[in-house]
């Protein structure tokens, strides 16, 4: 049987029949892409390429890139522009080989799109869409994603799932990767998309039933039961002509995404692909006949021996040169590890000229990554103790997995002796404080400010509630809010404070924070909590609305503390007098009032009285009314804050109902409402105890 079958496979390794429906292709079949590449029957863009053996590699293991491969001419999906979408069927064999085992980045997708040149972003956007057009019905984009990262932003169910995406990356339907075993019992078996092994996928659309079904399996035997079915009429989504192909992307973490074979058919079942006749995955071992095995074995052994000798020498030389070698545990860590040389080159050798700023944790330099030319900000933190470095770095990996449009994304890191270098996205418009304080050259109008405030609130909410474990920021303030090129507010430095703790001696907890933003209970207990973040956010709200720092040293004594000043004016009913004069009176009164009142509520000395970030976000979105403020922020005896109970207790006991629209007046003082305790406002405690500033 062999010769004839082989001949047939060979002959059919590329055919695109263009007979049935005139000049439009209806039946594509690629058993490997070598011939297709030679004949120009596949169009590549991004970093996609076809290797010598005919394997299509959409991305390699370099982060934040994407690759596309499309059949060059469009496929006719409808018999008339207004008609229904014909049935179609496609099947492909793919493999995802991640840079680090168990951590994929980000995924690949089969795409049908009105345009071949997708104006898209990498990372969580999978090279399909960009931040501006997600969800827009003029995209005319249909995709089936094989996603290996859980993105909370798009509501992903896990980091190993398939999803049906219509004009958006929020999947219409998704399922954990699995398949039904053949046979009547059809047990569901889990499948790991990023196992590095060849897997096959089938996507079928039935125009009669209007159902899309997706099936995956580790072999070329198609399970009878699909893992995902979704009833949808594709007619409004598809145009008459659509391009078909693949897209993949990498992010902070990266995988090589391969496609070894693909078949596609309109009005019929896609021709079967035979995994065994496809080109092998690069790096996969090929089977050799026994006669040559010995020879190959010996030569491989020689190469390995020579290789390991060279490797050892290199390793020893590197160890001697700089104690900066990669240790085994570091390989298990997620975010991209840069070499010191790379970062040194990126920042021109950490020249003063590239210095962007100097924060509590170290100096920040502007840099341009030598290969990709991507602009980044490099933060250099010196870390005295070697002890705790491992925790330090594992913390980084968890920070690196936090993804939200209002957080400054960590791109990677590097360790050099006692120094730790953190590489972040570059924020074109710098930090917010330079637009607010000290007679700035440019300021932001109210619309821009409220946009920033809402962004920061949702970023902080994500840190508190959106991730597996809540992350306390610990240092929310205007100078930690950065503005990207579209003036979106993005929180920087999150998680760093906790990182820093790993370096200090156990037992002496360093209180991290900034005077004026530090909740009064924090120095007392040494513990930051979600509610101490809310306190700092309150100070931030007031500074954005009033355009002045929470504590002004130059101002007269009664103006020293912004929150007290706002409270005084609020009681007198003329709080709008305090609105930043740089706004020249142009602002939305309702919004400013809401921000000021929220600022007061969040600044309450008593952690139990502060709202949660979820409430704050709902108020800012206008979903809930902001109640009148009845308690003086420092009406509670600050010196007692935090006594006895842990802050988690405070948060849980916060009466969430008091923020409900129906009972908006119930935010009532339940303590001594006099202002005698004004003198015990935060600073008196902080200056006495806080190790901050
Ligand atoms: C595929 O490539 C062959 C060989 O160059 C060419 O003749 C054929 O027209 C191509 N098919 C399509 C549908 O473009
Ligand atoms: C990935 O591809 C890009 C572009 O072709 C290249 O610059 C980069 O060096 C490649 N990375 C790896 C790890 O091969
Ligand atoms: C959708 O995209 C079209 C074309 O790019 C644009 O004109 C329209 O404003 C977008 N709609 C929304 C809601 O963003
Ligand atoms: C799913 O698809 C429909 C179009 O049929 C669309 O209106 C809807 O917004 C999509 N998204 C989700 C999350 O259901
Ligand atoms: C189905 O399950 C039953 C009970 O577990 C078993 O006896 C039977 O052999 C199974 N049939 C197949 C086809 O696997």
In angstroms, rounded to a whole number, what is the distance separating the alpha carbons of residues 160 and 151?
11
Which atom of ligand 1 is nearest to 18's Cα?
A: 13
Backbone torsions φ then ψ of 487, nearest 5 degrees: 60, 35
| Confidence at residue 283, expressed as pLDDT on a 0 to 100 scale | 74
Spacing, Cα 60 to ligand 1 middle (Å): 28
Lowest mean pLDDT segment, chosen from 60-64, 100-104, 338-342, 594-598? 100-104
Residue 364 within any structural domain of the chain:
yes
Spacing, Cα 371 to ligand 2 middle (Å): 9
Q: What is the mean pLDDT of residues 446-469?
A: 89
- The structural domain count of the chain equals 3
| Confidence at residue 329, expressed as pLDDT on a 0 to 100 scale | 43
Q: How sure is the predictor about 470, in pLDDT bands with cuts at 50, 70 and 90?
A: confident
- The domain boundary, picked from 366, 393, 425, lies at 425
Q: Is the CB of 138 under 6 A from ligand 3?
A: yes
Residue 333 within any structural domain of the chain:
yes
In angstroms, rounded to a whole number, what is the distance separating the alpha carbons of residues 442 and 448?
12
| Confidence at residue 256, expressed as pLDDT on a 0 to 100 scale | 95
Is the Cβ–Cβ distance between 482 and 405 less than 8 Å? no
What contacts 113, CB < 8 A, 6 or more positions away? 139, 140, 141, 142, 143, 242, 243
In angstroms, rounded to a whole number, what is the distance separating the alpha carbons of residues 237 and 264?
19
Q: Is the CB of 679 under 6 A from ligand 5?
A: no
> Which residue, judged by its Cα, is nearest atom 1 of ligand 1?
41
Residue 288 within any structural domain of the chain:
no
Beta-sheet pairing, 419-425 with 362-368:
unpaired
Is the Cβ–Cβ distance between 542 and 599 less than 8 Å? yes
Lowest mean pLDDT segment, chosen from 2-16, 66-80, 110-124, 671-685? 671-685
> Which residue, judged by its Cα, is nearest atom 8 of ligand 4?
172
Is the Cβ–Cβ distance between 245 and 44 less than 8 Å? no
* Residues paired with 146 in a beta bridge: 108, 162
What contacts 71, CB < 8 A, 6 or more positions away? 16, 25, 28, 41, 42, 43, 243, 244, 245, 264
Q: Is the CB of 25 under 6 A from ligand 1?
A: yes
Residue 512 within any structural domain of the chain:
no
> Which residue, judged by its Cα, is nearest atom 8 of ligand 2?
62
Q: Which token pair is 149? A: 């990262």
Q: How sure is the predictor about 391, in pLDDT bands with cuts at 50, 70 and 90?
A: low
Point out the ligand nearest to the CA of residue 212.
4
- The domain boundary, picked from 620, 638, 656, lies at 638
Testing ligand 2's pocket by substitution, the residue of 61, 62, 253 carrying the most ligand atoms inside 8 A of its CB is 62
Lowest mean pLDDT segment, chosen from 128-132, 559-563, 659-663? 659-663
Which atom of ligand 4 is nearest to 170's Cα?
A: 13
Is the Cβ–Cβ distance between 211 and 205 less than 8 Å? yes
Spacing, Cα 167 to ligand 4 middle (Å): 8
What length is written for the chain? 693
Lowest mean pLDDT segment, chosen from 29-33, 205-209, 251-255, 583-587? 251-255
Residue 647 within any structural domain of the chain:
no
In angstroms, rounded to a whole number, what is the distance separating the alpha carbons of residues 491 and 463?
10
**What separation in angstroms does the CA of 268 have from each of 25, 29, 90, 96, 272?**
13, 13, 10, 28, 12
Q: Does the pLDDT at position 10 exceed 50?
A: no
Cα-to-chain-centroid distance, residue 217? 29
Q: Choose among 309, 146, 138: nearest CA to 236.
A: 138
Residue 634, domain CATH: 1.10.510.10
Q: Does the pLDDT at position 143 exceed 60?
A: yes
Q: Does the pLDDT at position 236 exceed 90?
A: yes
**Same-domain status, 218 and 343:** no
Point out the ligand nearest to the CA of residue 115.
3
pLDDT in tens, 168-224: 999 999 999 999 987 777 789 999 999 999 999 999 999 999 999 999 999 888 999
Point out the ligand nearest to the CA of residue 44.
2
Q: Which token pair is 256? A: 């090589």
- The domain boundary, picked from 425, 446, 473, lies at 425
Q: Is the CB of 26 under 6 A from ligand 1?
A: no
Render 231-267 in DSSP notation, one character per residue: E---TTT--SEEEEEEEEE--SS-EEEEEEEEEEEES
In angstroms, rounded to a whole number, what is the distance separating the alpha carbons of residues 561 and 81?
66
Q: Does the pLDDT at position 691 exceed 70?
A: no
Q: What is the mean pLDDT of residues 411-431?
A: 83
Which atom of ligand 4 is nearest to 168's Cα?
A: 11
| Confidence at residue 449, expressed as pLDDT on a 0 to 100 scale | 96
Q: Is the CB of 391 under 6 A from ligand 2?
A: no
**Same-domain status, 411 and 497:** no
Lowest mean pLDDT segment, chosen from 400-404, 566-570, 608-612, 620-624? 400-404
Q: How sure is the predictor about 372, in pLDDT bands with cuts at 50, 70 and 90?
A: confident
Q: How sure is the predictor about 296, in pLDDT bands with cuts at 50, 70 and 90?
A: low
Q: How sure is the predictor about 496, in pLDDT bands with cuts at 50, 70 and 90?
A: low
| Confidence at residue 674, expressed as pLDDT on a 0 to 100 scale | 24
Q: What is the mean pLDDT of residues 249-261?
A: 91
pLDDT in tens, 27-56: 999 999 999 988 889 999 999 999 988 999
In angstroms, rounded to a whole number, what is the distance separating the alpha carbons of residues 193 and 176?
10
Spacing, Cα 171 to ligand 3 middle (Å): 20
Q: Is the CB of 119 under 6 A from ligand 3?
A: no
| Confidence at residue 668, expressed as pLDDT on a 0 to 100 scale | 24
Better pLDDT: 94 or 441: 94
Please provide the average confidence, as pLDDT, over all residues in the chain. Answer: 78
* Residues paired with 88 in a beta bridge: 205, 266
Which atom of ligand 5 is nearest to 183's Cα?
A: 13
Point out the ligand nearest to the CA of residue 66.
2
Point out the ligand nearest to the CA of residue 186.
5
Q: How sure is the predictor about 529, in pLDDT bands with cuts at 50, 70 and 90?
A: confident
Q: Does the pLDDT at position 555 exceed 80?
A: no
Which atom of ligand 1 is nearest to 25's Cα?
A: 13
Q: State percent of the chain over pLDDT 90.
A: 42
**Domain limits for position 206:** 2-277
Q: How sure is the predictor about 292, in pLDDT bands with cuts at 50, 70 and 90?
A: low
For tokens 């330079």, name the residue. 434
> Which residue, judged by its Cα, is nearest atom 11 of ligand 2?
62
Lowest mean pLDDT segment, chosen from 41-45, 159-163, 557-561? 557-561
**Same-domain status, 553 and 612:** yes
| Confidence at residue 326, expressed as pLDDT on a 0 to 100 scale | 45
The phi-psi region of residue 535 (left if phi > 0; otherwise alpha if psi is between -120 and 50; otherwise beta) is alpha
In angstroms, rounded to a whole number, what is the distance separating the alpha carbons of residues 184 and 181?
9
Which residues approach ligand 4 with their CB closer than 6 A?
166, 168, 170, 172, 232
Beta-sheet pairing, 336-337 with 410-416:
parallel
Q: How sure is the predictor about 690, in pLDDT bands with cuts at 50, 70 and 90?
A: very low
Beta-sheet pairing, 173-176 with 161-166:
antiparallel
- Cα torsion 451, 590, 593, 472: sign: negative
Catalytic residues: 475
**Same-domain status, 178 and 243:** yes
Highest mean pLDDT among 324-338, 384-398, 642-656, 672-686: 384-398
Can you state the angle between helices 589-602 and 562-572, rounded to 10 degrees? 120
Q: Which token pair is 672? A: 């001594």
Better pLDDT: 308 or 129: 129
**Same-domain status, 217 and 259:** yes
**Same-domain status, 479 and 603:** yes
Q: Is the CB of 183 under 6 A from ligand 5?
A: yes
**Same-domain status, 249 and 335:** no
Testing ligand 4's pocket by substitution, the residue of 134, 155, 168 carrying the most ligand atoms inside 8 A of its CB is 168
**Same-domain status, 494 and 614:** yes
The model's pTM: 0.51
Three-state SS at 413: strand
In angstroms, rounded to a whole number, what is the distance separating the alpha carbons of residues 382 and 364?
12
Q: Which token pair is 408? A: 């400054």
Q: Which token pair is 296? A: 């190959």
**Same-domain status, 60 and 80:** yes
pLDDT in tens, 593-624: 999 999 999 999 888 889 999 999 999 988 88
Is the Cβ–Cβ distance between 462 and 152 less than 8 Å? yes
* Residues paired with 202 in a beta bridge: 91, 215
**Same-domain status, 162 and 232:** yes
Cα atoms in the Cβ-side hemisphere of radius 13 Å centred on 72: 9
* Residues paired with 165 in a beta bridge: 143
Cis amide leading into 89 (omega within 30): no
Q: What is the mean pLDDT of residues 530-557?
A: 86
Q: Which token pair is 498? A: 């906790």
In angstroms, rounded to a whole number, what is the distance separating the alpha carbons of residues 328 and 367?
28
**Same-domain status, 363 and 236:** no
Lowest mean pLDDT segment, chosen from 139-143, 516-520, 537-541? 516-520
Residue 387, domain CATH: 3.30.200.20
Q: State percent of the chain over pLDDT 70.
A: 73
Residue 81 within any structural domain of the chain:
yes
**What separation in angstroms does the CA of 658 have from each of 367, 432, 464, 587, 668?**
48, 32, 21, 28, 9
**Same-domain status, 589 and 452:** yes
Lowest mean pLDDT segment, chosen from 3-17, 293-307, 333-347? 3-17
Residue 175 within any structural domain of the chain:
yes
Backbone torsions φ then ψ of 13, nearest 5 degrees: -65, -20
Beta-sheet pairing, 178-180 with 188-190:
antiparallel
Q: Does the pLDDT at position 649 exceed 60?
A: no
Rounded to 5°, the CA angle 67-109-89 comes to 125
Residue 189 within any structural domain of the chain:
yes
Residue 265, domain CATH: 2.60.120.200
């Amino acid at each position: 049987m062999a010769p004839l079958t082989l001949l047939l496979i060979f002959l059919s390794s590329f055919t695109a029949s263009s007979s049935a429906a005139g000049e439009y292709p209806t039946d594509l079949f690629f058993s490997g892409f070598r011939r297709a590449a030679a004949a120009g029957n596949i169009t590549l863009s991004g970093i996609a390429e076809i290797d010598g053996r005919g394997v299509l590699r959409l991305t390699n293991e370099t982060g934040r890139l994407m690759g596309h491969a499309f059949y060059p001419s469009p496929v006719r999906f409808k018999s008339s522009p207004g008609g229904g979408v014909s049935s179609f069927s496609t099947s492909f064999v793919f493999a995802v080989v991640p840079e680090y085992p168990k951590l994929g980045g980000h995924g690949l997708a089969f795409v049908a799109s009105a345009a071949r040149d997708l104006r898209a972003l990498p990372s969580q956007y999978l090279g399909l869409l960009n931040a501006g057009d997600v969800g827009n019905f003029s995209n005319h984009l249909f995709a089936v994603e094989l996603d290996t990262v859980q993105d909370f932003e798009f509501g992903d169910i896990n980091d190993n799932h398939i999803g049906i995406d219509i004009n958006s990356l929020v999947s219409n339907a998704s399922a954990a990767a699995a398949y039904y075993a053949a046979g009547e019992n059809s047990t569901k078996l889990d499948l790991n998309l990023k196992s590095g092994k060849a897997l096959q996928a089938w996507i079928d659309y039935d125009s009669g039933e209007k159902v899309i079904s997706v099936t995956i399996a580790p072999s070329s035997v198609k399970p009878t039961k699909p893992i995902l079915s979704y009833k949808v009429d594709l007619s409004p989504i598809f145009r008459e002509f659509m391009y078909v192909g693949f897209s993949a992307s990498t992010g902070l973490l990266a995988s090589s995404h391969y496609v070894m074979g693909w078949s596609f058919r309109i009005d019929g079942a896609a021709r079967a692909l035979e995994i065994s006749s496809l080109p092998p995955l690069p790096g996969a071992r090929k089977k050799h006949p026994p006669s040559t095995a010995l020879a190959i074995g010996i030569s491989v052994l020689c190469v390995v021996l020579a290789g390991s000798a060279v490797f050892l020498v290199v390793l020893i030389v590197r160890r001697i040169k700089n104690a900066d070698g990669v240790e085994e545990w570091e390989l298990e860590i997620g975010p991209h590890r840069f070499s010191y040389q790379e970062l040194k080159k990126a920042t021109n050798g950490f020249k003063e000229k590239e210095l962007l700023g100097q924060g509590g944790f170290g100096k920040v330099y502007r840099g341009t990554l030598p290969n990709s030319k991507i602009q980044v900000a490099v933060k250099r933190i010196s870390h005295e103790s070697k002890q705790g470095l491992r925790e330090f770095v594992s913390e980084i990996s968890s920070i690196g997995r936090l993804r939200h449009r209002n957080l400054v994304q960590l791109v990677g890191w590097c360790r050099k002796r006692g120094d730790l270098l953190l590489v972040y996205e570059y924020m074109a418009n710098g930090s917010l404080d330079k637009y607010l304080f000290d007679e700035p050259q440019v300021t932001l109008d109210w619309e821009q400010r409220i946009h920033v405030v809402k962004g920061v609130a949702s970023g902080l909410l994500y840190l508190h509630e959106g991730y597996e474990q809540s992350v306390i920021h610990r240092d929310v303030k205007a100078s930690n809010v950065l503005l990207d090129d579209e003036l979106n507010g993005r929180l920087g430095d999150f998680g760093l404070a906790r990182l820093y703790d790993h370096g200090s001696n156990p037992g002496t907890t360093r209180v991290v924070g900034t005077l004026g933003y530090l909740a009064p209970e924090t120095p007392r207990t040494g513990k930051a909590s979600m509610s101490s973040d809310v306190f700092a956010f309150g100070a931030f709200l007031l500074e954005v609305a009033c355009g002045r720092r929470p504590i002004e040293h130059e101002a007269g004594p009664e103006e020293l503390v912004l929150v007290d000043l706002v409270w005084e004016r609020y009681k007198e009913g003329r709080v709008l007098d305090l609105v930043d004069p740089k706004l020249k009176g142009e602002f939305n009164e309702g919004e400013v009032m809401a921000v000021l009142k929220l600022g007061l509520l969040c600044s309450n000395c008593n952690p139990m009285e502060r709202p949660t970030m979820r409430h704050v976000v709902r108020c800012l979105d206008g979903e809930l009314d902001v109640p009148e403020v009845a308690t003086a922020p420092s009406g509670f005896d600050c010196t007692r804050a935090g006594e006895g109970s842990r802050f988690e207790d405070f948060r849980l006991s916060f009466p969430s109902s008091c923020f409900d629209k129906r009972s908006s007046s119930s935010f009532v003082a339940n303590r001594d409402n006099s202002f005698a305790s004004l003198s015990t406002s935060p600073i008196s405690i902080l200056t006495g105890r806080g190790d901050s500033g």
